[in-house]
Amino acid sequence: MEEVPNLRKVLDRVENKLIASGKVYVAMSFVFWMIIMLLYFLIFPNVKLPLWTTAVYWAAGILIYLWFSSIIFRYYRRLRAPLNRKVFRRTGIFIGLSWAIGGFVGMGIIPDLSVGINSITMFSIGYLSFISISVFGEWLTFRGSDLEMIPAIVIPIVGIPLALYLSSSGTNPFFWAVLVVSLAFSSTILSYLYSAFKLIR
Amino acid sequence: MDHLKEVVKNRVLGNPVRLGIMLFLLPRGKVPFGDFIPVLNITPGNLDSHLRTLEREGYVTTKKMLLDRPRTVVKITDFGSVETRMYIRNLHKALDEV
């Protein structure tokens, strides 16, 4: 019966490697969004471009991100989605829905609220809410199993009251919101990579 | 012993070569035909025969693709990934029951 513990060890290693691969894939999708955000601030503040180019940049950025994420998602779903066939098929719909709700609340409703705060601050708060709600929805889709996502949910929420404070201090609140999201995503990426290496070492 | 029954019932993944193919494919998604040979240490003919079984059962699909040259690429299906993960889980649980 010596084979049983050995086989169990092999199976543990196989399962851990599969989970670790899934975690690296998710980390890649967070990195990709950071590249889009940071590229904007590398180009736009330094080059005088008409305002409509900003809208085009973000629209294109979101589309490219969705395309890239859908590839990542297919890999991730294969490795981590619940093994119930119906749930497995619906995971993509739930993730898409969470980003759509996040986008609607964060980029649609919040920037249009008339609460006596300037538009760029409201837009920044909306952006932080968009990220937080969307990642929260994604986290729920995977039944809260990915604790690594928590910094990407919590840090933008914590950033909202600070964005309100910054509206009176002269700092560009949107630039600041991007830094908050970068910090949140970097923490999440670090957590994912740490978990992945912990599983395979 | 239900998990053990499930393990025994799966004749497709009960073969170690086919299980090896699926485990190699699972994290990668798609793999060129030739890349399996050094990993699994089998002949191309043997690999082809196992891949045909997996394709017939809906675990994988094969497609000719132009990479550095025209190559056959093996792609795992959603069904194949769920079945493989279930098989590993059942095997694990069956071992716990032993």
Determine whether the interchain pair A79/B26 forms a contact, defined as Cβ–Cβ distance below 8 Å: yes
Cα–Cα dist A158/A180, whole Å: 9
Using a CB-CB cut-off of 8 Å, the residues of chain A touching B86 are 83
Question: Which of B92, B93, B96, B97 to substitute to test the interface with A, most A CBs within 10 Å?
Answer: B92
Longest dimension (CA), chain A: 74
pLDDT tens across A159-200, in order? 888 887 776 777 788 888 989 999 999 999 999 999 999 988
Nearest to B73 by CA among B23, B36, B40: B36
> Is the separation of the CB atoms in A169 and A124 below 8 Å?
no
Cα–Cα dist A23/A30, whole Å: 11
Answer whether B31 touches A (CB < 8 Å). no
Cα–Cα dist A137/A66, whole Å: 16
pLDDT the model gives residue A99: 85
Cα–Cα dist B31/B37, whole Å: 11
Establish, for the pair of chains A and B, how many residue pairs have beta carbons separated by less than 8 Å. 43
How many Å lie between the alpha carbon of B95 and the closest alpha carbon of chain A?
7
> Is the separation of the CB atoms in A101 and A130 below 8 Å?
no
Cα–Cα dist A160/B67, whole Å: 48
pLDDT the model gives residue A11: 84
Chain B residues 6-25 within an 8 A CB cutoff of chain A: 23
- Domain holding A157, by residue range, is 3-200
Question: Which of B3, B81, B97 to substitute to test the interface with A, most A CBs within 10 Å?
Answer: B81
Q: Find which of A15-19, A51-55, B31-35, B69-73 is predicted with most confidence, using mean pLDDT.
A: B31-35
Residue of higher predicted confidence among B18 and B10:
B18
Share of chain B above pLDDT 70, in %: 98
Determine whether the interchain pair A11/B88 forms a contact, defined as Cβ–Cβ distance below 8 Å: yes
C-alpha A58 chain-centroid distance: 16
pLDDT the model gives residue A14: 85
pLDDT the model gives residue A74: 80
Nearest to A79 by CA among B8, B89, B37: B89
**Range B42-51 average pLDDT:** 94
pLDDT the model gives residue A152: 95
In B75-84, which positions are buried (b, 16+ CB within 10 angstroms) versus exposed (e)?
bbbeebbbbb
Count the helices and strands in chain A (H runs, E runs). Answer: 6, 0
pLDDT the model gives residue A24: 92
**Which residues in chain A come in under a pLDDT of 70?**
1-2, 81-89, 167
Answer whether B82 touches A (CB < 8 Å). yes
Domain B2-97 annotated CATH 1.10.10.10: yes
Cα–Cα dist B47/A21, whole Å: 25
Q: Per-domain residue ranges for chain B?
A: 2-97
Determine whether the interchain pair A14/B23 forms a contact, defined as Cβ–Cβ distance below 8 Å: yes
- Structural domains in chain A (count): 1
* Distant-in-sequence contacts of A40-44, Cβ < 8 A, 24+ apart: A40/A178, A41/A175, A41/A178
pLDDT the model gives residue A88: 64
How many Å lie between the alpha carbon of A93 and the closest alpha carbon of chain B?
15
pLDDT the model gives residue A1: 61
